[in-house]
Amino acid sequence: MFGIKKFFVALTLLTVSLGINAKEVDSSNPYTLIHEVADQTFQRLKAEQPKIQSQPNYLKTVVDQELMPYVNYQYTALKLLGPNLRGADKKQVAEFIEEFRAYLITSYAQVLTQYTDQSIQFSPQKPIAETTRIVSIPIEVVDGSRPNIKLEFTLLKNNKTGEWKAYDMVAEGISLLSSKQSEWNSKIRQDGIPAVTKELRDLAKKDIVFEGKK
C-alpha cells in the first residue's frame, strides 16, 4: 500500500510548486500554472537550503508564500466539514477554515524537510472546455533510484475569475481530501467543530524538525 508519509511527500513536492508571485503566473490554465511555478519554486528550495537547514521553521514561510496563494483551502475545508455544515455556527466554521490553513502550512513544511532535489515529469496538455470546472492532471515525481511516484493533481476553476487553484491530490488511488473526510467527520460529529479546530491549531504550532535532529 502507498504509505501515508510517502503520499504527503509526493503531495507536498507537487503542491508546493504552485505558489509564486501571482503577477508572474498564468493561472487561467492549470497546465501552464504548474509548469511555470515548478521550476521557480524548486530553484528557491535549492537556493535557500542553508537557511532552511539552520532554521527549519523557515519552511513554513516558504509554504505560506509559495503554496497557499494557489491552494483553495477554503473549498477543501468546507468539503471536509460536509454534512456537519448544516446548522453550524458561522464563526466556528470560519475558525475551522483558518486553522485548517495553518495546519496545511505546517504539514507541508514538515514534509519539505525531505526535499532532495527531486524532479517532475508533466503529462502533455489536453484541451479544456470552457465549461470545465475541475481538471485532474497526471504527474510523476522522479526520485533517483526509487520508483517514480504517480500522482493526479486536482484543480478547481473559479467561474468568476477564471483562475485555477489546487484542492486535492490523488496518489495511487489515495485522495487527501477523501482520507481526511473519513478521519475527521466522525470526530466532528462526536466532539463538535471547535474541538477539531483546537486539534488543528495545536498541530499547526508544532516546530519543523529534520529527521535525525533534535
Q: 27 vs 35, which has greater pLDDT?
A: 27
Of 10 and 99, more confident: 99
**By percentage, how much of the chain surpasses pLDDT 90?**
44
Q: What is the pLDDT of residue 21?
A: 46
Q: Is the pLDDT of residue 84 over 80?
A: yes
User: Which whole number is the average pLDDT over 203-212?
Assistant: 90
Predicted pLDDT of residue 67: 79
| Mean per-residue pLDDT over the chain, rounded | 83
Q: Determine the average pLDDT of the residues in 57-69.
A: 88
Give the pLDDT band of residue 133 (cuts 50, 70, 90): very high
Mean pLDDT on 177-202: 91
Determine the 3-state secondary structure of 112 from DSSP: helix
The C-alpha cell at 193 is 467543530
d(CA 17, CA 36) in angstroms, rounded, equals 9
More confident residue, 9 or 185: 185
- All structural domains of the chain, each given as residue ranges with its CATH number in brackets, are 4-204 (3.10.450.710)
Question: Number of C-alpha atoms within 13 angstroms, CB side, residue 41?
Answer: 33
Of 59, 65, 61, whose CA–CA distance to 20 is shortest? 65
Query: What confidence score (pLDDT) does residue 12 get?
Result: 56
Model confidence, pTM: 0.83
Q: Give the residue-averaged pLDDT of 49-57.
A: 94
Tens of pLDDT, residue by residue over 167-182, are: 988 877 788 888 888 8
Cβ distance 11 to 120 under 8 Å?
A: no
Nearest to 150 by CA among 1, 4, 11: 11
* Contact yes or no for 78/180 (Cβ under 8 A): no
pLDDT at 142: 84
Give the whole-angstrom CA distance, residue 151 versus residue 11. Answer: 8
Question: Residue 71 gets which letter from DSSP?
Answer: B
pLDDT for the residue 1:
39
Decide if 21 contacts 37 (C-beta within 8 A): no
Alpha carbons 137 and 63: distance in angstroms, whole number? 21
